Amino acid sequence: MSSPPLVSVIVTCFNRQAYLAEALDSILEQRLTDYEIVLVDDGSTDDSARIAGEYAERHGDRLRYHHQTNRGAAAAKNTGVRLAAGRYIAFLDSDDRWTPDKLETQLRHVESHPDIRVRFAHGRQFPSPELAPEQRARLHCPEQPMPAPVSGTLLIERDDFLRIGPFREELRVGIDVEWNLRARASELVIATLPEVLLLRRVHPGNSGFTERDTRKQHTAILKEHLDRMRARRPAGPTDS
């Protein structure tokens, strides 16, 4: 691109050969076209690199591919932020999809509500089509849209993201939750748009299933947030 893009879309990937093309296609089908894709491969050992290479060859002016040794989803997202050239940053996990109006809708909201600095949206879950009926039956997948304050719906100026800070790389689960709590503890105004802009794939490889043994991190994240908010609270007349 001859000038910096308006938006840098950061796609993180680890062994997602079955879904990566769908994720990238959902970005390339966006109605708004002033964006770049920064694809960070977090040490995949499957065919993800070949798929990424094919897309980079076809869309070289729009897609940049970066491979790193496996360090986890948070580290991959942070690498993408460091590589991003756009004014705004958005994220998409390589097993999810955007609706075609994702960027257009949120940037239109930027124009009409410039005081809002952090934008999320609603999402809808869907069971991955290749799953057998018995696999689907074991997965919790509500059909109704719901607020999705996760990185897959986030649109934020790069400077504001840096103000809140990077994703916590030592976490294996709760990465978005922890960052979201820090964002809400900041002075930045946050909004969740009512539109469904993210389609979240439900499959046995989701981190919520593969990282069950680290779910206690969620409790630690919430405790940190409460301690942070208590520390910021002005002392009252009965406080010691």
Q: Whose structure tokens read 């990937």?
A: 13
Cα 48 → chain centroid: 19
Which residue type does 137 have? A
Are 124 and 147 a contacting pair, CB within 8 Å?
Answer: no
**Which of 156, 151, 210, 201 has the alpha carbon at shortest distance from 178?**
151
Q: What is the DSSP letter of 61?
A: T
- Which run of H or E residues covers position 24? helix 20-28
Q: Delimit the domains of the chain by residue range.
A: 7-165+188-202
Which residue type does 56 have? A
Task: Give 9-60 pLDDT, tens digit per residue.
Answer: 999 999 999 999 999 999 999 999 999 999 999 999 999 999 999 999 999 8
Q: What is the pLDDT of residue 224?
A: 52
pTM here? 0.85
Q: Reply yes or no on domain 7-165+188-202 having CATH 3.20.20.140.
A: no
Q: What is the pLDDT of residue 232?
A: 57
**Which of 81, 74, 52 has the alpha carbon at shortest distance from 64?**
52
Classify burial at 216, counting beta carbons within 10 Å of its beta carbon; exposed 0-12, middle 13-18, buried 19 or more. exposed
Task: Give 129-161 pLDDT, tens digit per residue.
Answer: 878 787 777 777 788 999 999 999 999 999 999
- Which run of H or E residues covers position 194? strand 190-202
The encoded tokens of residue 123 equal: 């999402």
